[in-house]
Amino acid sequence: MEEKLKIKVSIADRVYPLTVHPEQEEGIRAAVKKIEAMTLQLEENFAMRDKQDVLAFCALQFASQVEQNRIQNEEGLEDSKEKLIEFNNSLDNILLKYHIK
């Protein structure tokens, strides 16, 4: 059985102890870096000082990115589905033309 790691991460000047699977550590640390970069950017560009406001806007920005990616993936899936239907119809026409079906 794989042992979990105990790590500490710092977000908005607070330290949070976490217990994670080893394969999750890299992703968690990368996410923490993104959060810290975004909070710094929000504090500098919008003169936000209240950590709760900064973290709320940070959460909103990340959530909106996730939703936008979901929407784009759904649109891409629909486009792919339409192209496959067109291809299938073209193939059916060719097969019928040459009496292969």
What one-character DSSP code corresponds to residue 15? E
Distance CA 61, CA 57 (A): 6
**39, two tokens:** 């909070």
Q: What is the pTM of this model?
A: 0.70
Q: Which helix (H) or strand (E) is 8 found in, with range?
A: strand 5-11
Domain ranges of the chain: 5-97
- Per-10-residue mean pLDDT, the chain, length 101: 91 96 97 95 89 94 95 91 92 88 61
CA distances from 19 to 2, 31, 43 (A): 13, 15, 29
Distance CA 73, CA 87 (A): 21
Task: Give the list of residues 6+ apart from residue 100 with CB closer than 8 angstroms, or none.
Answer: 94
